[in-house]
Every structure is written in structure tokens, then in C-alpha cells.
Amino acid sequence: MRHIHRTQAIAIAGAAALFAGSASAQTVSDWPSKPVAVVVPFTPGSVADLETRLYAEKLGSNLGKNFIVDNRAGAGAMIGVAYVVKAAPDGYTLLTATSALTIAPLIYPTLGFDPIKDLAYVAMMSKRAPMLIANLKFPPNNGAEYIAYAKANPGKINIGTSGITGAGHLSLQLLHHLTGTKATFIHYKGGAATFAAVQSGELDVVIGSVIGAGGMVRAGKVKVLGIMSAQRIPQFPDMPAIAEGTVPGWEYAPWQGYAAPAKTPAALLDRINAEFVKVAKDPVLGEKLSSDATIMIGSTRQEFTKFVTAEAVRLKKVVADTGLKLEE
């Protein structure tokens, strides 16, 4: 049996490291050399799906390779997430990331993977600014009056949500928890049903996106109590955010970004991030998305990772503090 001396072993290890480094650099510089799959863990036509398709088209145009949208819906988005977690960490399978990743561990304690630790967060692309809308007979007309009414009428406000596992539901639970008030949450299957119910007076308030509920507001069928993001929006510039003087620091702004398998090399993640940031800064694309009060971001990897980690902690605390029981 041939023995390898220590000096030879060091030389071989050094050569191997050099080769690996060259191969990695080559992979980064060549990316993408083939089509990239972007897994959307929701159905076609969803907000996340439509936004992803716009990004995929722009990335394909910029880089000369197809970015193929792959819808893998189910189990609160976890079917698609699990697929990406197990995918090769080579930059050719990416994930559309939303608040579903931070909520899932609260609903499915036995996932078999950690949506936070088993993914590498590439870039936050956008946030949207929804509205808190009410039926026309509901007495409050703004955020301050809403909180005062909730204090005077504990549990009497009927709030419609599109599901008990949604970030909108958790965020309004937090709003009432922070203000020491109580409300009654009624869960529907989808936002369209809640819009019909608030117009008829069956519900007092619901969350509505600008693109989904803006028409009802402009037609005078419902009224806006406040914007739920931290700042006002161009579509309704005179409408204050609920955080303005009412509940400082509170915000509900659905976000969207992209992630990759956890073991994807850092240099490759940086390369992918740079391309996504270019897309986020594109003024034409930003204009297309502005109709839904979408705020383009284009974060660093580090900023996005910090945000998602903090968001998971925040939502876990909401559930613990309120004693909320989540179930799919």
C-alpha cells in the first residue's frame, strides 16, 4: 500500500481547493447557462404568481435564458417550499418567498424541515400596502376612531379574513393586542367573499388590496379607515396610515422575495441577488406593479435574511401572547 507523506497530502489538498475554487468561480460567472426554475408555492393567477411572472420575464430578457415559473401549490405553500429545500444548491431552482414561510412553523410543527434555516434568502423584491376598509354604516371613519370604538365595544367588531392562517389575520390580531382591544374574526374562503360581505353589512371591516378593493372604494360602496403599511400611498394620498398617531410602529405590508436551497454558495447567491436587484430597480416594471400600491425594494441578502428571521419571531410572539390557535 502506498503511503502519502504529509507534504504530499497538503499539496493535493491545496490543488483540490484551487480546482474547487476555480470551478465555483466558473459556475458563478456562467450563471445562468441553462433555464432557471422559479417555484411559486401558490396557484396560477395568485398575486405572488403574477408578480413572479413579471420578474421572470425581465430576468429572461436581461440574461438571455428562460426563467420558468413552476407552480407547486398546497399545504399552506409548504409543498413548493419542500421541493426547493431538497433541490440542488446550484442556482437553477429558486423559490418565491412570502410570509407563508414565517407562518408555516406555527401551523405545521412537524414539517421535517425549517423554512427559515433550510433556505438561503436572496432578495426581498417588494411590499404592498393594503387598506382597512369598512361598510358604509360602520361608525368609525379612521384609525383612531376605529380603536376608540373597539375599546368601547369589546368583541363587537366583525372582521373578515381570507383564512385563519393568513398574515393579515395575525397582523390584525396584533393590532388589537397592542391596543388592548378585542374583535371577532370571521374566516372566509378567499378575499372576494369578504368583499361581498363587507358591502352587504354582514362584516364591519376587511383588509383589501388597492387593486382588489380600490374599485369599491372609488365607487363609494365601502370606505377606507386607514392604510395598513407604515406610510401613505400615491393612490390615496389623503388617507393616513393607521400607524400615524394611532398605533406607531404597527404595519401590515405583504412582502415578496426569492430564496434558494440553503447550501447554495455565497458567491452564487450574490450573483443572483445582483440580477434580482436590477429587476427591482427597473422603472417600467415598478410602474406596472404600482397599480396595487406595490413598493419596490431590491434588498441585499443580509437585509432579507434579517427581516425574515425577525418576522418569524414576531409572528410567533403574536400567537403566544394572544393564545391564538392556528389550524389549516
- Nearest Cα residue to 160 out of 137, 132, 130, 194: 194
| Residue 230 confidence (pLDDT) above 50 | yes
Say yes or no: 210 and 143 in one domain.
Answer: yes
Using CA atoms, how far apart are residues 221 and 197, in angstroms rounded to an integer?
12
Residue 233 belongs to some domain of the structure: no
Domain ranges, residue 157: 131-227
CB-CB contact of 47 with 191 (8 Å): no
The whole-chain average pLDDT of the chain stands at 86
Using CA atoms, how far apart are residues 157 and 206, in angstroms rounded to an integer?
11
Least confident range from 6-15, 235-244, 254-263: namely 6-15
Write down the pLDDT at residue 13. Answer: 40
Residue 282 belongs to some domain of the structure: yes
The last residue of a domain, from among 184, 212, 227: 227
Using CA atoms, how far apart are residues 57 and 69, in angstroms rounded to an integer?
10
What's the mean pLDDT in 44-63?
Answer: 93
Q: Provide the 8-state DSSP code for 326.
A: -
Say yes or no: 284 and 136 in one domain.
Answer: no
Say yes or no: 118 and 259 in one domain.
Answer: yes
What single-letter amino acid sits at 322?
Answer: T
Query: CATH number for the domain including 181?
Result: 3.40.190.10
Query: CATH number for the domain including 302?
Result: 3.40.190.150
Q: What is the C-alpha radius of gyration for the chain, rounded to an integer number of angstroms?
A: 23
Question: What's the structural domain count of the chain?
Answer: 2
Say yes or no: 111 and 146 in one domain.
Answer: no
What is the full DSSP assignment across 66-99? -EEEEE---TTTHHHHHHHHTS-SSSSEEEEE-T
Say yes or no: 148 and 212 in one domain.
Answer: yes
| Residue 247 confidence (pLDDT) above 60 | yes
DSSP H helices in 130-219:
143-152, 167-178, 191-200, 210-218
Residue 237 belongs to some domain of the structure: no
Say yes or no: 108 and 64 in one domain.
Answer: yes
Interval 169-212: pLDDT, tens: 888 888 898 899 999 999 887 778 888 999 999 999 999 888 78
Coarse DSSP helix, strand, coil percentages of the chain, rounded to the nearest 5 percent: 45, 15, 40
Interval 116-141: pLDDT, tens: 899 999 999 999 888 999 999 999 99
